[in-house]
Amino acid sequence: MLDEILQQGHLVLIEDYQFQDGNGSKDKFLIVLNRNDEFAYIIHTLTTSQNKLSLPSDNFGCLVTENIPYFFIQKNTALGENQFSFDKDTFIFFRNNVRKENLASFLKYDESNIVLKEKLPKQFLKRLLKCMLKSNFIDLNIEKELIKIKDQL
């Protein structure tokens, strides 16, 4: 079941997501950008309704403020075939949130805590990847792989 959920373009909710710094757990969303037999390329811990930086949040999609690119999704915007939408405005920041994650790391979660919420269209993924690749915060070790993923969409 986990194998079916962690597929390219899936928006996934992990209930009781364990933060790497050991500071507790919280329900968190992630987007699977791509995967192979060993790794998933993900954006994790999407930020909902926290606009502490007072960033512009008028338009859906990629925005750049003070050389910081981010992807904005307004609340109640249907994202895919299941018509899933966030209840709150959602900001996708790329600093420390884009990673190549070993699939084995997901085994620490009970399968019932990993929930497929939406199958995102390829066009959405491509748009998200284009925005992400504008960021200076993407790990150079995976940047080339992300470019290949974008080009294959």
For residue range 4-32, list pLDDT tens digits in order: 999 999 999 998 877 666 666 778 899 99
State the average pLDDT over residues 119-131.
Answer: 96
Helix (H) or strand (E) holding 152: helix 140-152
Amino acid at 94: F
Q: What is the pTM of this model?
A: 0.89
Q: Other CB atoms closer than 10 Å to residue 129's CB: what's the count?
A: 21
Where is 64: in which H helix or E strand? Answer: strand 61-65
* pLDDT for residue 116: 96
**Structural element, H or E, at residue 4:** helix 2-5
Structure tokens at 59: 């338009």
Longest dimension (CA), the chain: 42
For residue 126, give the H/E element and its range. helix 122-132
SS3 82: coil
Q: What's the pLDDT score for residue 89? A: 87
pLDDT in tens, 65-122: 888 899 999 999 999 999 999 998 888 988 888 999 999 989 888 899 999 999 999 9
Burial of 110 (0-12, 13-18, 19+ CB in 10 A): exposed
CA terminus-to-terminus distance, the chain: 25
Instruction: Round to whole Å and give the CA distance between 84 and 76.
Output: 8
